[in-house]
Amino acid sequence: GQSVEWFLPVFGKAYGYYTKPRARLYDVSMKIGEDTIAQCASSQHYPVWVNNVACPSKSTVELPNPPEQLVVRQEMSLLITLKDKFGFQRLVGSEPEMEQLEVSIVNPRGKSVEIHVTNNNNGTYTAKFDGRLAGAYALSVKFAGETVSAPKHFTMLPASILAENCVFVGINETYEEIKRMEA
């Protein structure tokens, strides 16, 4: 069988084995000794998502664009996908699992960046941070202390100047020059 883990709000994390080739939604009869758990007594079965145990070396981190197309933005996000040892994406996430994720980003000034991680409830997590500073960033992602496959560095390119991002602050001595260039 395969090693699995699951998380139940009432009981917490549990581990076990199953003989199916992949994790998915199963009807699980839950008993402690010979007693059916009261939460499950009406149907004797309880639908529960069963995940294969996460394998950090098979898990991935994706940037929102190819590295050569990353442009500074107010909110930058990374997608962390936890996978099992066979490379299958885990089907659900949990708060205890999210607590085992360590995401570290250092900006071009050498300062650690504040990161907000969100559980997408599908085996993926989104890490968001302020990406308004152009330059080279260092990235490290770990799950349960083990390194997740991720780019170690990425560069945020300066944004092009767009009219909708500009603000008119007044008329000065260059107004005539600007007017002539527009004509």
pLDDT digits (tens, 9 = 90+) for 49-70: 556 678 899 999 999 887 778 8
pLDDT at residue number 181: 47
More confident residue, 25 or 126: 126
pLDDT at residue number 40: 45
Dihedral, 14, 20, 21, 25 alpha carbons, nearest 10: -60
Report for 31-40, 84-93, 105-114: range of highest mean pLDDT: 105-114
What gap in Å lies between CA 30 and CA 38, rounded to an integer?
A: 9
82-100 mean pLDDT: 84
Evaluate whether 83 touches 76 at the Cβ level (below 8 Å). no
Q: How far is CA 48 from CA 24, 33, 97, 119, in A?
A: 8, 19, 16, 18
Query: Does position 44 have pLDDT exceeding 80, yes or no?
Result: no
pLDDT at residue number 80: 95
Residue 144 carries which DSSP code? T
pLDDT at residue number 163: 67
pTM of the model: 0.64
Location of structure tokens 């308004």: 132
Query: Does position 18 have pLDDT exceeding 80, yes or no?
Result: no
What gap in Å lies between CA 25 and CA 55, rounded to an integer?
A: 20
3-state secondary structure of 13: strand
Query: Does position 84 have pLDDT exceeding 90, yes or no?
Result: no
- The total number of residues written for the chain in this structure: 183
Residues β-bridged to residue 48: 26
pLDDT at residue number 66: 79
